[in-house]
Structure 1
Amino acid sequence: MIPWLATSALAQTELPEMQVAAPRPALTAPTDADARLRLWSSPGANTLVPAHDFLDRPGTTGLRDMLEYTAGVFAQPKWGEDTRLSIRGSGLARNFHLRGVRLLQDGIPVNQADGSGDFQELDPLTFQRVEVLRGGNAFTLGANTLGGAIDFVTPTGRDISGVNLRAEAGSFGFLRSQISGGGTYGPMDGWISGTIAQQDGYRDHSGGSSGRLNLNIGYRISDDAETRLYFTHNSIQQDIPGAVSRSQALNAPRTANATNLAMNYQRNIDSYRLGSRTAVRLNVDTLLEFGGSWVTRQLNHPIFQYIDNRTNDFNLFARGTWDGTVGGLRNRLVGGINYAYGTTDNRRFVNFQGNRGAQTFSASDRAQTADAYVENSLYVLPRLAVVTGVSGGQATRSSDNRLNAALGGSGRWNWVNPRAGLLWQATPEVQAYGNLTWSTEPPTLSDLVALVPFGGFSALKPQRATTLEIGTRGTAGRFTFELAAYHAWVDKEIQLFMGPTSGTSFARNADRTIHQGVELAGTFLAGRDLLAERDSLTLRGAYTFSDFRFDGDATYRDNQLPGAPRHVLRAEARYRHPSGFWIAPNLDYVPEGFFVDNANTTRTDSYALIGLRAGAELLDGRLGLFLEARNLADRRYISSASVAPVAAPNAALFEPGLGRSAYAGARLRF
């Protein structure tokens, strides 16, 4: 650690509301302050979101609520706990599940081995922090894509001592309760959380229920060695209201898609995750980390057909960090490997009102992704590092169709992604950086299997991008900020195009596209001692400008890529009284709607949503009360949308935003 940086404002991180002083930090789970130092030792836009940013709110259920003030992340709710996620325009053509961003919990992948995944297995109440690494900055986590990675980190028994009870209730039948706790027992520590929730949903056929269990147990072998086991279980039942036409979304937003109602669309998940992580400090300069995981997941998913999938994913990783000197100059070297292997028993049946009918499809799918990386930071001056790195890997995908061998296929993709950058510690409080990074995204199995009749697995090439990024972050007086600008030249972007038959669309490669934007987030202490001694007024905001477009496409010329708005502004003013009471009005503003098709014929509307949050910390912080009112003006708007090559006027592509709602909750720690 750089001595002058460790004591600077960059190292100061507020602890989540549920934390108390730990007897000794865990080697396998760094503190928030240490994690921020690690993230900011890389010359790229990496953000740490502490849990107090979202745990002082009731009704927080998805990525949108956790990452609303993280610029560059477009995470909009669809229904229930599902979200449409894109970072810097990643996965814009993905109308279901996830592509282009690697999600992890405690460093253990949530995604399947082919890069696809779901969001609903993440429980916001269990996290100590969220780490967002955009684009190629995330290659140390095995993410070699345009979007990067998000790691959701749970507490350990060394972070928490005691028991935490939490209960919430709100609009549309929302109920949730949690019990969690942890502590240390000699060389051992443990933490456990159980959450149950249910909701009727804002829209027809959007109700759901869930039960989640998260557990980790650590054992301190010695002062320089520790191992930790993780266990997670999720049981989730969710009705799917589906996308509707633009007119329905704005004029009858609580209406479900008629087909979804008739066929009883659902997404039900039962998953278990078992993982381990071991950290060994070989000497004062060298840290070795390694571990692995096994995830099994049963997906029962009646939609156009009844999808019945059983997946098993295995992951291994090893990472070494050496922070010493070379020729009298400070040098930080990080290297490691990641390996993922997954199998899917992929079966489909006729969907008879949410029940299985005759079998229509059966395949054994396999995916394997392996990569290795190395990054070196040489401090040619005490506060200026020259950063170079490279990652390389290979992905294989195969599908063996049990009913028709001709509908199977396989493919293999290799890549090498170099990286170079500069990291300048301009002052003890402010950093500036720049980097040029390559990224590669292999296709997922669901995209490939659909193309078997139209050229096989070879019909889809990997998506590659070269991203130039500059930025700055730090603290200047009362202002804490993060600012980044980037320009990505994308080749063979995986995008939706018209299929060979009328009315069909498939994931195919575009020729060239451009992704560029500006990401700004900051907090300003506007005043102290305003109405009472030791009170404060804090302003917080995040602005994202996104310009994603085709680059001279033969059909779509320089049209905007559909799926994400060009401008998003979120802001909050929070007044905090020394008695523990606080109140925070907030604004969510999208000044310009976004297109939903490549042809740029149909778009959403602009909107501005006003909300109010309030709470109180009582009994020396042991009792927390919180309240939130959303969309106070009951504005009708479109939250997210699926995309298409060309959208018909009445196309069912739109997800209505949530109407006026209110939530309240309490938390007791003892």
Structure 2
Amino acid sequence: MHPSSRVELCLALLLTLPSTAALAQTSPSASAQLDELSVVAEPTLGRGGGALTVLNTAQATAEIQRTAGAVAIVPDTAYKNRPAQTLKDVLDFVPGVIVQPRFGSDARLSIRGSGLSRNYGNRGINVFQDGIPINTSDGLVDFFEIDPTAYRYVEVFKGANALRFGGNALGGAINLVTPTGRDVFPFDARVDAGAFGYVKSQAATGGVSGPLDYFITLSGERFDGFREHSNGESVRGSANVGYQFSPQAETRFYINANTVNQRIPGEVDRRTALTNPRAANPEWVRQDQQRNVDSVRLANKTTLRFDETTVDFGFFTVQRHVDHPIYQYLDYTVQDYGGFVRATDDRIIGGFRNRLVAGVNIDNGTIDYRQFVNLTGARKGALTFSTLDYSENVTAYLENSFYVLPNVALVGGGLFMHATRDRKDRFLSDGNQSGRNTYDIAKPRVGLLWNVDPTWQVYGNISGSAEAPTFDANSFGSVATSNLRAQTATTYEIGTRGVRPDFTWDLSLYRSEIRNELQCLTTSIFSPCSIVNADRTVHQGVEAGFGIAFLKSLFTFEDRIWLNAAYTYNEFFFDQDPRYGNNTLPGVPTHYLRAEMLYRHPNGFYVGPNVEWSPQPYFADNANSLTVPSYALLNFRIGYDTGRDWSGYVEARNLLDRRYISSVAIAGVANLTSEIFNAGTGRAVYGGLRYRW
């Protein structure tokens, strides 16, 4: 479908959605947005009706616009024509989202400063796959098991706007949505290869047989890594099977299995990161530090429709074994399980439209944890620590949108969170560190959504969030760590989003006032971090994205040059802290820009440069005594994709081979000898081929 036809289709669809401002800026760039609209024209590729349990991209785009706050949808067309190894490749053009690679498939992800100090095990974001939690039950989440090539689209709910899923974290929620057999090609295969020994292959299939549909995907990946001692490999597979009992009832079963093996190069001092960026930390090499994960996830989701009411419910269980030699040899097994129920009621009450969403999430689990001396070469020594950890989490949430005018909704609601962290110490020679903490927190939400016309919206909200400490914070070994408080926040937000045939925009301004922010401060190479509560902190900023077709009809009537940009302004600081005063919170750039100028031809050809720019240094420690230098990277890509049959791309990154720091493990106080920096990847070229029929 030609771009102009897609825009016409978009506007026609908008007019059929009187309850929303419809397809606004739901993708990270205008050109990607146009690609996603092809799903509207071909939602099922001619093989039966759509699924009830899973929305297609166009339906999800319309649904997410009912949120009175900053949200985004990234369709697979925005990232599958590139070497999608980490979530940075998926989300880097979503304003407000900062993804900082560490090594291999690992990265630190922060939305609005969530989990700002974490350099391992992300916190402060609820991550879902098909609406079902991926986080461990104590709140941590790793991205090793996420395969970007497996998903149809990715939903981003920034901050407290994740209430739709019962999300309670400062950063909000990310929902990774896999295709169903009703919206895939019978065969889809690809291979990607490039710099530093990177090779990845993936194949998928799906189909429909009467009321039954299925989707299966499998990928394998290996890489030597840019830095020494950062090689890795993985095999990831996902499948789902759906059965439609009637046009109003459907159930779907999911299975996801992964095996991931990754060596860890370790952080180095700033000088080493900038002058010898491929070097690993010698101590990490001596210990042969690694992270090896084997996991299986089973889940079910059932959707029932009763006139104006839709009910979704389901269950999940995750079995995960982590073999993790680092400063000590960690060996643990995670068993998580839970369920959810959510009801959506959309009806006319007294002549006014009313939309109610309410639900309950249960997420419980155990961690059978053992820690040993790590002898040279990742060999287990004597047992040093052993616990059985149990987490219990129940979240109840409600959000009601009452349309005082056909195009203006008043929003009210909130959530209640009950969380328990219970530890049984099984290694008593260093004292009994058993303990139990319970957290009960309620947070409200009010807002307004104004559909100014069928193509743009204005919104605002005041919302609360709450996060219980994770088990690595609740050591129960001292008063300081066993009495950690839950992190809470109140966020104020206003914004607007919209779409025109040749212009799209997405703008939000927010301020989060946080109590007891959980900080993970690097103390030495022999400990991952020391976790403390900061007293009062403030996170505020601007998230701005736009796309504009500024040159048109260069060679044909329908070709375009698009300028797409995503800008994030982060102002995070202590608020009269007894130790740090009003210092800037470290870890992320104050300004961050991703921009691309891309020529697109209606025959599927595209070409253009893009940049990643952090224009000023940012701090590496709370004391604001050491900075991470600014950087600018020039990239370029060229490719061909008609949406079916053969497609391919070549992408060059960091063309000027700039030396820069991609992430920092923040400290309370740092100096030039502090080993807290990860070097960014040097010049790299990748290419890929894909075939669909």
Distance 2:66 2:20 in 1: 12
For 1:4, the equivalent position in structure 2 comes to 18
For 2:78, the equivalent position in structure 1 comes to 53
1:461-610 equivalence runs, <5 A: 461-496=485-520, 506-610=530-634
2:646/2:690 contact within 8 Å kept: yes
SS in 1 for 2:417: strand
Equivalent of residue 317 in structure 2, options 280, 287, 294: 294
For 2:266, the equivalent position in structure 1 comes to 242
2:271/2:672 contact within 8 Å kept: no
Residue 392 (str. 1) matches residue 406 (str. 2): no
Amino acid corresponding to residue 430 of structure 1 in structure 2: W
1:163/1:669 contact within 8 Å kept: yes
1:174-253 equivalence runs, <5 A: 174-253=198-277
Q: Which runs of 5+ in 2 are unaligned?
A: 1-13, 27-33
Deviation at 1:4, TM superposition (A): 3.0
SS in 1 for 2:181: coil
SS in 2 for 1:78: strand
Distance 1:503 1:292 in 2: 36
Q: TM-score, normalised to structure 2's length?
A: 0.93
2:622/2:669 contact within 8 Å kept: yes
Residue 32 (str. 1) matches residue 46 (str. 2): no
For 1:424, the equivalent position in structure 2 comes to 450
Q: Kindly provide the CA deviation profile for residues 375-416 of structure 1, in whole angstroms up to 9, marking residues without a partner as x.
A: 100000111000000110200001111011621211000010
SS in 2 for 1:664: strand
1:274/1:293 contact within 8 Å kept: yes
Deviation at 1:578, TM superposition (A): 3.3
For 2:478, the equivalent position in structure 1 comes to 453
1:648-667 equivalence runs, <5 A: 648-667=671-690
Equivalent of residue 98 in structure 1, options 113, 122, 126: 122
Residue 627 (str. 1) matches residue 643 (str. 2): no
1:15/1:50 contact within 8 Å kept: no
Deviation at 1:528, TM superposition (A): 2.3
Question: Mean alpha-carbon deviation: is it higher for 502-511 or for 396-405?
Answer: 502-511
SS in 2 for 1:66: helix
SS in 2 for 1:125: helix
Residue 271 (str. 1) matches residue 295 (str. 2): yes
Distance 1:601 1:14 in 2: 48
1:585/1:612 contact within 8 Å kept: yes
1:638/1:654 contact within 8 Å kept: yes
Deviation at 1:221, TM superposition (A): 0.6
Amino acid corresponding to residue 365 of structure 2 in structure 1: G
Residues 195 and 411 of structure 1: CA distance in aligned 2, closer, same or farther (over 3 Å): same
Distance 2:401 2:188 in 1: 41
Equivalent of residue 411 in structure 1, options 437, 440, 443: 437
SS in 1 for 2:656: coil
Residues 580 and 33 of structure 1: CA distance in aligned 2, closer, same or farther (over 3 Å): closer
Amino acid corresponding to residue 34 of structure 1 in structure 2: Q
Distance 1:391 1:7 in 2: 26
Amino acid corresponding to residue 544 of structure 2 in structure 1: L
SS in 1 for 2:124: coil
1:550/1:561 contact within 8 Å kept: yes
Residue 382 (str. 1) matches residue 382 (str. 2): no
Residues 217 and 505 of structure 1: CA distance in aligned 2, closer, same or farther (over 3 Å): closer
Q: Kindly provide the CA deviation profile for residues 456-496 of structure 1, in whole angstroms up to 9, marking residues without a partner as x.
A: 52x20011111000000011452111100001111111124
Q: Kindly provide the CA deviation profile for residues 600-642 of structure 1, in whole angstroms up to 9, marking residues without a partner as x.
A: 0001111110000111126x73100111000000000001111
Distance 1:587 1:435 in 2: 33
Equivalent of residue 356 in structure 1, options 360, 380, 393: 380
Amino acid corresponding to residue 105 of structure 1 in structure 2: Q
Residue 333 (str. 1) matches residue 356 (str. 2): yes
1:21/1:160 contact within 8 Å kept: no
For 1:638, the equivalent position in structure 2 comes to 661
Distance 1:6 1:197 in 2: 41
1:211/1:236 contact within 8 Å kept: yes
1:28/1:277 contact within 8 Å kept: yes
SS in 2 for 1:52: helix
1:433-444 equivalence runs, <5 A: 433-444=459-470
Distance 1:323 1:560 in 2: 44
Residues 143 and 183 of structure 1: CA distance in aligned 2, closer, same or farther (over 3 Å): same
Equivalent of residue 342 in structure 2, options 319, 336, 343: 319
Deviation at 1:19, TM superposition (A): 7.6
Q: Kindly provide the CA deviation profile for residues 244-272 of structure 1, in whole angstroms up to 9, marking residues without a partner as x.
A: 10000000000001111000000000000
For 1:170, the equivalent position in structure 2 comes to 194
Distance 1:481 1:456 in 2: 44
Distance 2:177 2:319 in 1: 20
1:533/1:578 contact within 8 Å kept: no
Distance 2:527 2:314 in 1: 47
1:395/1:412 contact within 8 Å kept: yes
For 1:615, the equivalent position in structure 2 comes to 639
1:387/1:423 contact within 8 Å kept: yes
Amino acid corresponding to residue 663 of structure 1 in structure 2: Y
SS in 2 for 1:445: coil
Amino acid corresponding to residue 541 of structure 2 in structure 1: G
Deviation at 1:593, TM superposition (A): 1.9
Amino acid corresponding to residue 662 of structure 2 in structure 1: S
SS in 2 for 1:406: coil
Distance 2:267 2:106 in 1: 13
Residue 133 (str. 1) matches residue 157 (str. 2): yes
Amino acid corresponding to residue 45 of structure 1 in structure 2: A
Distance 1:391 1:563 in 2: 30
Amino acid corresponding to residue 183 of structure 2 in structure 1: D
Deviation at 1:3, TM superposition (A): 3.7
Identical-residue share of aligned pairs (%): 42
Distance 1:301 1:499 in 2: 20
Deviation at 1:139, TM superposition (A): 2.3
1:520/1:542 contact within 8 Å kept: yes
Q: Kindly provide the CA deviation profile for residues 507-549 of structure 1, in whole angstroms up to 9, marking residues without a partner as x.
A: 1111111100000112112232112342221111100000000
Question: Mean alpha-carbon deviation: is it higher for 258-267 or for 37-46?
Answer: 37-46
1:157/1:191 contact within 8 Å kept: yes
For 2:691, the equivalent position in structure 1 comes to 668
2:563/2:598 contact within 8 Å kept: yes
Distance 2:522 2:332 in 1: 28
Distance 2:527 2:144 in 1: 30
Residues 229 and 476 of structure 1: CA distance in aligned 2, closer, same or farther (over 3 Å): same
Distance 2:226 2:162 in 1: 36
Q: Kindly provide the CA deviation profile for residues 573-622 of structure 1, in whole angstroms up to 9, marking residues without a partner as x.
A: 1112233221021010100121110000001111110000111126x731
Residues 497 and 659 of structure 1: CA distance in aligned 2, closer, same or farther (over 3 Å): closer
Q: Kindly provide the CA deviation profile for residues 133-180 of structure 1, in whole angstroms up to 9, marking residues without a partner as x.
A: 011111232321111110010100001131001011100001110110
Question: Mean alpha-carbon deviation: is it higher for 580-589 or for 317-326?
Answer: 580-589
